[in-house]
Structure 1
């Protein structure tokens, strides 16, 4: 199970309450293992999740450690996994992409505000990233934190593109998604095109279908439509056209590393795994227009003149 605020707890994976006794836990594990086993037509991803859940709570020692939030090879994440990471110096001297803005900053502000609202006015929240508190929060609040983490992971990947690329994070736009702040997560410009990128973690698998994402976890959202609206608002102001619309999700939620799904207003749309993003941008998406050196400079100047940060 991924260290995501939206990941099911081991008890949820096994289908038992957190206070289930050892016998009930063992019975639930055996049933879940039997129904999820690939040899009997089960889902390999689900089978792995059941095994992982048992490692976390299958013995009295492991269960006690998990319930206390202790960290180990098979334990739950500590608050450091979800709190803002301290800046780190690059390990080598290779030039990084030029980056502007604060990735995940506005999303984290929204998370903190919603967490305080949920806990209650006047109630002190000593640590809003405490794993026990996060697990008890409503799903929509955990979703906001999961998105912030994904935005930060995307920013780290994009920083490795090199000096030929310019990246803007948290770009303000008047086109917002449902329950989300009015911003585009990432805008990337380089010789392989102008990419409008949204980082998302819905806590479940998604797939491309007729130029849009589908999946139970989406809850009726139309992510590419929302992304296209954000990109259009920025492009109109700068008099430029994005060449690609990209949604990035954690690796385990996309069946393919890169899935292209047609185009919207001339921009290729693609679903990309987080680990594949940097190479996808460097190589360019299939069918997406590349830009010449003079064109890149002109587009950068236009964007720099209009980009504002959320």
Structure 2
């Protein structure tokens, strides 16, 4: 199970409610194990997940520890991974890309607001990143924290592009629509083009079909359509055009490192694993226009004049 706020709990993997008695838990475990067993046509990954879930809640002691938020030695690690990271001294002396804005800041602020609202007025939330609290929250609240984490990971990857690139994070835009965050996650400018990027963790596998991201976990969402609208709002104000629209997801949610589709308003659409992002931007996408040095400087000046942050 991935260390994500959207990861299924061991109860969900086994297929039983968290308040099930020991007999019901054991019966559900055996049923899930049979269904997932590779010898009966099941999925090896699902089989391993069921076994690991049982290790977390299969004994009264392990279950009690998990229910307290300290199960299987993972809760402390989850809390550390989910909370804002403390600044660290750099060991690498290579120049980083020029970066502006606060990656993941909007999503974290919205998460903190909604988690406290969900807990209830007058109730003190000592630790909003406590794994037991996070796991019990509604999916839309956990999704905000998951998005903040992948946005921060994307920012770390983009910083390695080097001084030839400029990166803006959490750009304000009014083109998101009433149900979507009013911002563009990342905008990257360099010799390989102008990339509008959305970082996402939907908690499951997705793929690219022509010019849209699809998957069971998406519901009625149209991520590329929304990304194109956000990018257009900014690029129109700056009188520039993005050369690529990219959606970044955790590695385990995409079967291939990079999927390239068609174009939207002249911008090439791509779905990419987080670990492949920096190299994909540095190399440029197939069919995507590269920019000359003078052109990069002009586009940067135009963007700097109009960019606002969420």
TM-score where L is the length of structure 1: 0.94
Residues 48, 175 of structure 1: alpha-carbon distance in 2 compared, 3 angstrom cutoff: farther
Matched residue, 1:161: 161
Q: Alpha-carbon deviation of 1:76?
A: 7.2
Residues 72, 85 of structure 1: alpha-carbon distance in 2 compared, 3 angstrom cutoff: farther
Matched residue, 1:194: 194
After the TM superposition, which residues 51-70 of structure 1 pair with which residues of structure 2 at under 5 Å, given as runs?
51-70=51-70
Matched residue, 1:283: 283
Matched residue, 1:171: 171
Aligned to 2:160, what secondary structure does the other structure show? Answer: helix
Cα distance in 2 for partners of 1:234, 1:196 equals: 10
Residues 48, 292 of structure 1: alpha-carbon distance in 2 compared, 3 angstrom cutoff: farther
Cα distance in 1 for partners of 2:287, 2:233 equals: 23
Aligned to 1:270, what secondary structure does the other structure show? Answer: strand
Matched residue, 1:237: 237
Residues 160-169 or 175-184, more deviating: 175-184
Residues 154-163 or 34-43, more deviating: 34-43
Tell me, yes or no, if structure 1 residue 99 matches structure 2 residue 107: no
Residues 179, 223 of structure 1: alpha-carbon distance in 2 compared, 3 angstrom cutoff: same
* Preserved contact between residue 56 and residue 72 of structure 2 (Cα < 8 Å): no
Residues 39, 270 of structure 1: alpha-carbon distance in 2 compared, 3 angstrom cutoff: farther
Matched residue, 1:260: 260
Superposition CA RMSD, Å: 1.8
Count of residue pairs the alignment pairs up? 310
Q: Alpha-carbon deviation of 1:252?
A: 1.3
In structure 1, runs of 5+ residues without a counterpart are: none
* Preserved contact between residue 66 and residue 72 of structure 2 (Cα < 8 Å): no
Residues 289, 96 of structure 1: alpha-carbon distance in 2 compared, 3 angstrom cutoff: same
Which contiguous aligned blocks of 4+ residues in structure 1 show a shift greater than 6 angstroms?
none
TM-score where L is the length of structure 2: 0.94
For residues 85-136 of structure 1, the C-alpha deviation after alignment (integer angstroms, 9 at most, x for no partner) is 1122222111111110000111111111111221222222222111111111
